[in-house]
Structure 1
């Protein structure tokens, strides 16, 4: 199973102004750097938790349908299922009627059951499911705990701005960060 992002988020959960206020930065000389740090800490948090903070579209690729009939999707919270496509042996797409699907988009991982699951004719990535995931369209929809973790992380990275180049970030995780994001992490055995 592979998940790809079809469209990046329209903005970021943290604004430049609120991040600068947290960092106690008044000048605009570091605005580009701080904007980059906001993106870096969001991407890091999303990788660590499997969450999409702001709504955007993703595609999951499957080789076959799960034997249980329940498709587990490791990116959430899922808002909608956009479309389902199955490829035949000739590689031609067949859009599947997904009406009547069951979705537990808040579960970790999210779970989807489709009423029709025709066998794909393509051995690899024969099934594509497009979905939108995220807490909401703006940073106000993101839980405050996650935004606080991002601010702590941005502050630490800003401290290291001269010692470590931006392309080598994140260089470290601040104290307390793991405790803030712990309730949002997926746990596995």
Structure 2
């Protein structure tokens, strides 16, 4: 099972002005750097929580259907299944009828039930599920704690950009960041 993003969100969940206000910065000398840090911070928050903050497109590749025909997604929230394609042994696609699926995209994890799916003929990645995930299209749709985590992280990386850390150590995280994202992380049992 492989899940990857096929289309980035059209915007970021926080604005450049939001981060500049947090940092108490005037002027535009650092705008390019800050914009890059906002995107990096959004990607890190999404990685740490498994949440797509803004609407974006994803593809899940499966070798075969689960025995229960219940597909579980690791990304949250799933807004819609755009297409399900099953490939035969010669690589010819069959697109499934949307009426044959039942999506429960707001639960965590999101689930997709498929009635009597055709078996893939390809041994590897014979099933492609294209989906749309995210809290919405605008920053106002993103939960406030996650927006604050993006701001805090981008600002922290801006403030400590000259610190050199050994390659084996991960990027540093500010105090309070873990508490902001904790309600959105999945519990590992």
Q: With structure 2 as the length reference, what TM-score do the two structures score?
A: 0.94
Unaligned runs of 5+ in 2: none
- Report if the CA contact (8 A) 1:41-1:170 is conserved: no
Partner of 2:6: 6
Please tell me the root mean square deviation across aligned C-alpha atoms, in Å.
1.7
User: TM (normalized to structure 1)?
Assistant: 0.94
Provide the rounded CA distance (Å) in 2 between the counterparts of 1:63 and 1:109. Answer: 20
Q: Distance in 2 between matches of 1:170 and 1:57?
A: 28
**Poorly superposed stretches of 4+, deviation over 4 Å:** none
TM-superposition CA deviations, 1:24-75 (whole Å, max 9, x none)? 1012100001001100100001111111101011110000100122100111
Greater mean deviation of Cα atoms: 155-164 or 4-13: 155-164
Query: How big is each residue's C-alpha offset from its partner over 1:86-141, in whole Å with a ceiling of 9 and x where there is no partner?
Result: 00011111111121422111122211101231100001000001110000001111
**Residue 14 of structure 1: how far off its partner (Å):** 0.7
Gaps of 5+ in 1: none
Alignment correspondent of 1:42: 42
- Whole-angstrom distance in 2 between the partners of 1:164 and 1:58: 34
Q: Please name the residue that 2:104 is paired with.
A: 104
1:76-91 matches, within 5 Å, as 76-91=76-91
